[in-house]
Structure 1
Amino acid sequence: MGEKIDINRIARDMFIMHKGEPYKVVDYEHVKPGKGQAFVRVKAKNMKTGNVVEITYKASDSIELADFEQRFAEYSYSDGDFYYFMDKNTYEMIAVSADAVKDKAGFLKEGIDAVVYFH
């Protein structure tokens, strides 16, 4: 289980957990309506499916941060089912499923630098 923080500390590019799934915060907005409680509207991308959703939290809520490991890598090649990246620190090959790469495959060229996230 990841660290919990107050929703008011949320920031873009932060990784959070929502309904047991990891999300990356794309955008957020603190809303203070004339009547009623303040709330935070978060637009977040599901790191497994790529779907972007809007989530609303009460200003008093806390959220769980998602545990991610970030590795700097270089794209090597694809065999159709997997895309292979070389870890720039350990020189280990990292296989990433084609489903995880999806629409970004067109941007991958041999030797390009990439960041690979592990959950």
Structure 2
Amino acid sequence: IQPPTIICYICGREFGTKSISIHEPQCLKKWHNENNLLPKELRRPEPKKTEVRTIGAKGYYDLDAINEAAWTSAQNQLVPCDNCGRTFLPDRLVVHQRSCKPKTAK
């Protein structure tokens, strides 16, 4: 049995239950640094961590619900390309747009 993992609400990567608390502040700091380097029109609002729900009298965390909310939050960070509609992180969108050309009508 694999140990439980938690998805980072910022980047969408999986981490162990102990290391996620170390990762998230570093990931958010990196997010701010990268977001500040983007052109103003590509800057996004800071991702917000969703509330943790508990189940039962013992107050266990619902990891599936936490991970689903975190995955959705991470996916909301993606920006669509105006030409092809594919989604990218904003810093990668800039690179993609250099080679993505609008389709010409035949």
TM-score (norm 1): 0.27
Task: Identify the structure with bigger relative contact order (alpha carbons < 8 Å, sequence gap 6+).
Answer: 2
More helix by share: 2
TM-score (norm 2): 0.29
